[in-house]
Amino acid sequence: MTSNPSDPSNDDGDTPKDPLAEMLARLMGGNAQGMDPQELAKAAGLPSDPQAMAMMMQQVQAMFAAQSDGPVNWKLAHEHARRVAASDSDPSVTPQQRRDVDEALKLAEMWLDPVTDFPSTSTLGRAWSRAEWVEATMDTWKRLTEPVAVSIAKALSDAISEQLPEEMKTMMGGASSMLQNLGGAMFGMQLGQAVGGLSKDVVSSTDIGVPLAEGQMALLPANVSAFGEGLDIPEQEVRLFLAVREAAHTRLFTRVPWLSAHLLGAVESYARGIHIDMSRIEEVARDIDPSNPESMQAALSEGVFMPGRTPQQDAALVRLETALALVEGWVDELTAAATANLPSSAALREMVRRRRATGGPAEQAFASLVGLELRPRRLRDAAALWAHLTEERGIEGRDAVWEHPDLLPTAEDLDDPQGFSQRRQLAESSDSEVDAALQRLLDGGFDEAPEADGADPTDKAEPNDNDDDNPEDEKA
């Protein structure tokens, strides 16, 4: 009878054991002798049927062996996000829903034309399911989270490696790359959980104020319906109001070419500054409970790896929140003007403001995961600033502020909207003086200035030592 090398009862010392099976047995069993597969299944709440267990072990092995482009398993994140998005039913968009969304977005574009100097984008409106939103936005999520994701994945794999017994490290040999994939797989799973959760909350492609699907304009009918539940407002009005917000976002990001890179760059800059609490990771790695495979996921979702922010991070966060507030404040102001004749406009505006200021459970989970909150906390202040500029400069003058990032208002301007123009004039005057002085220097103007009166500059450079003794000078 042929022996089975994967059978733990086969301990004749002659047949080599599967390194992955040994590692899983030791890691999850917590002892040097390993654990019987049926006992392991019982402890972890897994099926005890040999065939079912074999299939599950193959899936686990695939997770360990999965190759990715970097330290984070983005493929796993993508797949898990799709599963989470579909977990509470994600029906395909119906033809009627597509027509409703298309009509709402077309009407929204018409309503925006009189209230902004930016022309229509002629972008086709789309109706997305949650899974379609995940597909369209996953690349941007990768860009937003990669700096901190790479740090966490590496820290996780290093910490787990440190916890392994020396005999297991020796046993693994060339299979150590599987362990390196573990941290990336863990973070990928949790990121997928967060993005999938967000897919159940967002109502459009720009709902969180960032161009997640740049160049596309879309609503999620299922989430739009959920948004309006309990408001006693016709769903058509809710859909139209949200369509105006989506069209305003899309018009802004399309007509201000540098804005997307500026905003995403601010997010990336903040994320790169996040450092990882290695002591906390080591503590969690020591406390892994083999009977509770969700313990690591719970630790990730609570943000336990993120230490307190540094002063530099606080400053970066202020810059990021100011940029987000300016975008959301402009959209808020335009939407209010464009929907002035909509009966429910004021109520919907206030609801959106509160929703954006606090964030939902999924958005909070994402913030805990990567240490980043995409919330325009100063939305009301920014809306007040744009309203003031509209009154002071008109629509064209207000929108001209978006011509260059150096023209954007600062946190100080959100504190004092009334003084924005005066501060900008002073700054421009100062810049003009510096430019003029620099130009004179480049033209050699400073070298020629002393000779303007025809005198020899060397005569002026040498003082007269006898001035005090010359009586004629004293009389003069």
pLDDT tens for each residue of 385-434 = 999 999 999 999 999 999 998 889 999 999 998 888 888 887 666 555 66
pLDDT of 34 higher than 50: no
| pLDDT range class, residue 46, cuts 50, 70, 90 | very low
The string over 91-100, giving b where at least 16 C-beta atoms fall within 10 Å of a residue's C-beta and e elsewhere, is eebeeebeeb
Q: Please state the domain count of the chain.
A: 1
Q: For residues 384 and 418, what is the distance between their CA atoms, to the nearest angstrom?
A: 10
Task: Please report whether residue 139 resides in a domain.
Answer: yes
Structure confidence at residue 316 (pLDDT)? 76
Task: Please report whether residue 432 resides in a domain.
Answer: no
- The token pair that represents 338 in the structure block: 């464009």
**Average pLDDT along the chain:** 75
User: What percentage of the chain reaches a pLDDT higher than 70?
Assistant: 58
pLDDT of 39 higher than 80: no
Task: Please report whether residue 123 resides in a domain.
Answer: yes
* Average pLDDT score over residue span 179-203: 81
pLDDT of 255 higher than 90: yes
* Structural domain range at position 271: 74-402
pTM over 0.85: no
| pLDDT range class, residue 226, cuts 50, 70, 90 | very high
Lowest mean pLDDT among 4-13, 420-429, 433-442: 4-13
**Residue of higher predicted confidence among 196 and 68:** 196
Extract long-range pairs of 46-55: CB within 8 Å, 24+ residues apart: none
Q: Which residues lie below 8 Å from residue 472, measured CB to CB, with a gap of 6+?
A: none
Structure confidence at residue 138 (pLDDT)? 92
Task: Please report whether residue 370 resides in a domain.
Answer: yes
Q: Which residues lie below 8 Å from residue 286, measured CB to CB, with a gap of 6+?
A: 163
Tell me the CA distances in angstroms from 92 to 19, 85, 220, one per residue in order.
44, 12, 11
Structure confidence at residue 218 (pLDDT)? 96
Of 397, 394, 428, 424, the closest CA to residue 409 belongs to 424
Task: Please report whether residue 130 resides in a domain.
Answer: yes
Task: Please report whether residue 135 resides in a domain.
Answer: yes
Task: Please report whether residue 300 resides in a domain.
Answer: yes
* Average pLDDT score over residue span 241-262: 94
pLDDT of 464 higher than 90: no
Task: Please report whether residue 148 resides in a domain.
Answer: yes
Q: For residues 162 and 167, what is the distance between their CA atoms, to the nearest angstrom?
A: 12
Structure confidence at residue 330 (pLDDT)? 97
Lowest mean pLDDT among 151-155, 261-265, 290-294, 469-473: 469-473
